[in-house]
């Protein structure tokens, strides 16, 4: 199939996907449902490519903004363009609308999915080839009812998952320390990470972070607000536990500043906050060059976005701390893929099929749609 074919179809679905429980994070809770946008591009011969925007209003933006960015501002760049123009399309998208990184991630994913299907190659091959077949999976613990998280932990252990991330900074410090101590006592074989999601104020951050560090988690992530580069640098200097940045680093531009100001020992790499797979890989490469670690983070995603992140990590040797693509299996009541997102023995399996290697179930898109541009 020729990559000179024009893109003739551009369809969107705004979905509300029910979740199994409330989750508390430093910058806000999630309960009831998570909202995503699914994009479908269609080429002249009928081949289709899919992408997902997974926003969070307190972090990257709103689903309404992602939908409008795709429908109003990015659509004109795509319809009638040739698939061979992917790089040019994404270069124009960068400045067609400010921010809206999730929408741009969805667009690039759909373009890569379409290109992969037309060329018969997985997305990881389009990115230069894979360096791994499996990616260790980390699952976050954020239920305000810790007893329910203990039940989840039993399930995770049975499934062979050996990494968890405790979401902290929502309630009092005693609650965080109680949970960490319980994990250390009752689940000694589980590797534990801590993530504050910006939940600490500058005046309390040092005491709490140093206290948590006494329990030697693998790392402590983003204790203070994203703009507090100075406090991040101070905390990094005062603790031997690696300090990771998430909300402080959206794109390569932020990575350059973070490296220069020495605010972290590693970075959470997410295609949703960076604006796509290519920019996400660039962040990881910059981190590696600076001697920093990286792992593959996620937003509140379906398996569709998980697949995009999996291909990106598969082709990025600098991401060595695993991934967090657990939502489809452990948080959504029902995923939207035709076949389940594959996890075996606690690891995400890198797909070998063309494009993403999977696709959404159209009936599920229609079932959970709040609105769409699909013709009746």
pLDDT value of residue 18: 98
- The answer, as to whether pTM is greater than 0.85, is yes
Q: Which two tokens stand for residue 198?
A: 């910006």
Q: Are 105 and 275 in contact (CB under 8 A)?
A: yes
pLDDT value of residue 163: 98
Angle at which helix 277-289 crosses helix 303-314, to 10 degrees, equals: 40
Domain at 7-120+361-372: CATH code: 3.30.390.10
Distance between CA atoms of residues 206 and 200, nearest Å: 9
Q: What are 146-173's pLDDT values in tens digits? A: 999 999 999 999 999 999 999 999 989 9
User: In the chain, where are the structural domains located?
Assistant: 7-120+361-372, 126-349
Regions in the chain scoring below 70 on pLDDT: 1, 376
Distance between CA atoms of residues 191 and 193, nearest Å: 7
Distance between CA atoms of residues 150 and 309, nearest Å: 28
Q: What are 40-65's pLDDT values in tens digits? A: 999 999 999 999 999 999 999 999 99
pLDDT value of residue 107: 98
Pick the CATH number of 126-349 from 3.90.280.10, 3.55.50.30, 3.90.1150.10, 3.20.20.120: 3.20.20.120
β-pair type (266-269, 293-296): parallel
pLDDT value of residue 1: 55
DSSP label at 5?
A: P
């Amino acid at each position: 199939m020729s990559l000179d074919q024009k893109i003739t179809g551009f369809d969107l679905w705004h979905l509300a996907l029910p979740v199994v429980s409330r989750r508390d994070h430093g910058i806000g809770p999630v309960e009831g449902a998570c909202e995503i946008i699914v994009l479908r591009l269609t080429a002249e011969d009928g081949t289709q490519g899919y992408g997902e925007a997974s926003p969070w209003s307190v972090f990257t933006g709103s689903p309404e903004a992602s939908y409008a960015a795709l429908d109003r501002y990015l659509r004109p760049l795509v319809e009638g363009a040739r698939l061979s123009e992917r790089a040019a399309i994404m270069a124009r998208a960068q400045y067609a609308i400010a921010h809206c990184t999730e929408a741009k991630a969805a667009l690039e994913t759909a373009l890569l999915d379409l290109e992969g299907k037309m060329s018969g190659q997985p997305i990881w091959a389009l990115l230069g080839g894979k360096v791994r077949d499996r990616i260790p999976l980390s699952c976050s613990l954020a239920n305000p009812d810790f007893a329910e998280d203990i039940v989840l932990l039993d399930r995770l252990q049975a499934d062979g998952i050996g990494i968890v991330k405790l979401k902290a900074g929502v309630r009092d410090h005693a609650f965080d320390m109680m949970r960490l101590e319980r994990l250390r006592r009752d689940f000694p074989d589980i590797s534990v990470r801590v993530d504050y999601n910006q939940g600490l104020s500058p005046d309390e951050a040092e005491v709490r972070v140093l206290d948590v560090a006494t329990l030697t988690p693998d790392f402590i992530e983003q204790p203070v607000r994203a703009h507090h580069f100075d406090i991040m640098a101070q905390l990094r200097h005062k603790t031997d536990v690696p300090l990771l940045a998430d909300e402080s680093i959206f794109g390569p531009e932020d990575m350059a500043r973070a490296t220069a100001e020495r605010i972290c020992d590693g970075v959470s790499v997410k295609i949703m906050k960076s604006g796509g797979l290519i920019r996400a890989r660039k962040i990881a490469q910059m981190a590696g060059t600076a001697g920093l670690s990286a792992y593959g983070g996620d937003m509140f995603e379906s398996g569709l976005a998980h697949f995009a992140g999996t291909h990106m990590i598969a082709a990025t040797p600098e991401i060595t701390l695993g991934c967090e693509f657990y939502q489809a299996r452990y948080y959504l009541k029902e995923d939207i893929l035709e076949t389940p997102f594959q996890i075996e023995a606690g690891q995400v399996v890198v797909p070998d099929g063309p494009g993403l290697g999977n696709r959404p179930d159209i009936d599920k898109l229609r079932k959970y749609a709040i609105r769409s541009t699909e013709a009746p």
